[in-house]
Amino acid sequence: MIAERTLELPGGVARPDGAVCRRVRVRQLTGADEEALFERGRAGSARVTTFLTRVIEDVEGLDAPVDETLVAGMHLGDRDYLLLRLRQLELGDAVHEVVRCPACARKVDVDFAISELPVRRLVDPQPAYRVALAAAGGREALVRLPTGEDQSAVEGLALENPATANTRLFARVVLEYDGRAPMTEEDARAWPPAVRAELASWLDARAPGPDLLLDLACPHCKADMSYAFDLHGFFLPSSSRASTA
Ligand SMILES: [Zn+2]
């Protein structure tokens, strides 16, 4: 029971000396933690930061307190991973959801096990990576992986205008482009779409964390109804989804 509450982050928290700490101990949750996660009027990523700061007891090997700054600076995928594993520890491995098919509008039962979701682990964690962009004629970008703080910076924009959200994200995570630094949003906006697409797919392919996309077809009409598992609603043992939109 004790060992079970020590989790191995897929990305990890870097110490000032460069060493990466991956083992995190979490405590048993209470209703107050659940309330912190659902608190209205605050953005999702801020709630996740508050929630995880409450429940992480210790990051092994890290000589720093677990505060909101530390948790906001964690890899996005590490935060997702902790939410997912906490859901598994508290409520079990099996997830049942009812999802409405976007094509035929019929309700579909979706059952899966959290342990079946693939998790990508960083093999050689680095503060930032040199990426040669084929779409930019091999020009190099120095890129770091997105954190909870990056998510906070773009989450309001993501629904409104995903391209603007990408511009802001690139300006934050690209530390250097073609030997020039720092990047501004104007710089990122000036890049050709092919360069931006290449950067976005590099981030997708590289970032650590669980793959939350559930790949499924409607059993009634065979339409594709793949969707991402909603981690923020994860305490509800059975969540009814009105639509996948
Ligand atoms: Zn259907």
Q: Are 79 and 10 in contact (CB under 8 A)?
A: no
- Interval 213-217 mean pLDDT: 93
Q: Are 9 and 22 in contact (CB under 8 A)?
A: yes
8-state DSSP, 137:
T
pLDDT tens for residues 13-24? 999 898 999 999
Gap from CA of 227 to ligand 1 centroid (Å): 14
pLDDT confidence bin for 36, thresholds 50/70/90: confident
Distance CA(16)–CA(13), nearest Å, equals 10
Gap from CA of 244 to ligand 1 centroid (Å): 12
Gap from CA of 108 to ligand 1 centroid (Å): 8
Per-residue confidence (pLDDT) for residue 231, from 0 to 100: 81
Distance CA(116)–CA(11), nearest Å, equals 19
Gap from CA of 214 to ligand 1 centroid (Å): 16
pLDDT tens for residues 79-126? 999 999 999 998 899 999 999 999 999 999 999 999 999 999 999 899
Q: Which residues surround ligand 1, an ion (CB under 5 A)?
A: 101, 103-104, 218, 220-221, 223
Q: What percent of the chain has pLDDT over 90?
A: 78
Gap from CA of 237 to ligand 1 centroid (Å): 24
Gap from CA of 103 to ligand 1 centroid (Å): 5
Beta bridge partners, 176, equal 142
pLDDT confidence bin for 136, thresholds 50/70/90: very high
Gap from CA of 15 to ligand 1 centroid (Å): 49
Gap from CA of 241 to ligand 1 centroid (Å): 14
Per-residue confidence (pLDDT) for residue 39, from 0 to 100: 79
Q: In sequence order, what are the residues at sequence separation of 6 or more whose Cβ sits closer than 8 angstroms to the Cβ of residue 67? A: 53
pLDDT tens for residues 223-244? 999 998 888 766 654 444 433 3
Residue reference for tokens 């209470």: 30
Single-letter code of the amino acid located at 56: I
Gap from CA of 166 to ligand 1 centroid (Å): 32
Distance CA(146)–CA(79), nearest Å, equals 11
Gap from CA of 156 to ligand 1 centroid (Å): 31
Q: What percent of the chain has pLDDT over 70?
A: 93
8-state DSSP, 217:
B
pLDDT confidence bin for 159, thresholds 50/70/90: confident
Residue reference for tokens 């929630």: 51
Gap from CA of 91 to ligand 1 centroid (Å): 29
Gap from CA of 242 to ligand 1 centroid (Å): 14
Q: Give the pTM.
A: 0.89
Gap from CA of 135 to ligand 1 centroid (Å): 39
Per-residue confidence (pLDDT) for residue 34, from 0 to 100: 85
Could you list the beta-strand ranges (E) of the chain: 6-14, 20-26, 56-59, 94-100, 107-113, 119-120, 129-133, 139-143, 174-177, 209-210, 213-214, 227-228, 238-240
pLDDT tens for residues 165-175? 999 999 999 99
Distance CA(102)–CA(113), nearest Å, equals 23
Per-residue confidence (pLDDT) for residue 158, from 0 to 100: 81
Q: What is the mean pLDDT of the chain?
A: 90
- Interval 39-55 mean pLDDT: 88
DSSP string, 2-67: TGGGEEEEEEEEE-TTS-EEEEEEEPPP-HHHHHHHH-TTS-HHHHHHHHHHHHEEEETT--S---
Q: Are 144 and 14 in contact (CB under 8 A)?
A: no
Per-residue confidence (pLDDT) for residue 240, from 0 to 100: 41
